[in-house]
Structure 1
């Protein structure tokens, strides 16, 4: 992969850091979509597998780090969504 690919990989990965830190710290996911983060997390995982298959270290590195940032957000959204549904149903 060219230098351009490594720059793109770094920037798109780094873009997740502020959201991940804020969400993990506050647990506030009110403005985040469960469906979007589910699709995003699965997509990142598939890109990681694709990078492994191609032995492309930029794809592997960027998607491994991005997955570590996106997965906790997804799990927090999932937990908050389930808690809200339980509260709404009175359980």
Structure 2
């Protein structure tokens, strides 16, 4: 046996292109989605007109962005903000 001969056949490399829904690497033979679940989720999201999900989910570094916090509630300047009861 040659020192350069692999013991097991090499597995097909994953695609460099990401899944259109979850951004995972595409398995061999896949062109748009990594699985039928992602294909169905993408169809549901776009079918409901919620395409903004894809536009806002990735930051420049490719990480998910947190949802911005809600604006503070208005309270009269002379009083303390209302607190929830324990």
TM-score by length of 1: 0.25
From the CA coordinates, give the structure whose radius of gyration is larger: 2
* Structure with greater proportional helix content: 1
TM-score by length of 2: 0.26
The higher relative CO (CA closer than 8 Å, separation ≥ 6) is in 1
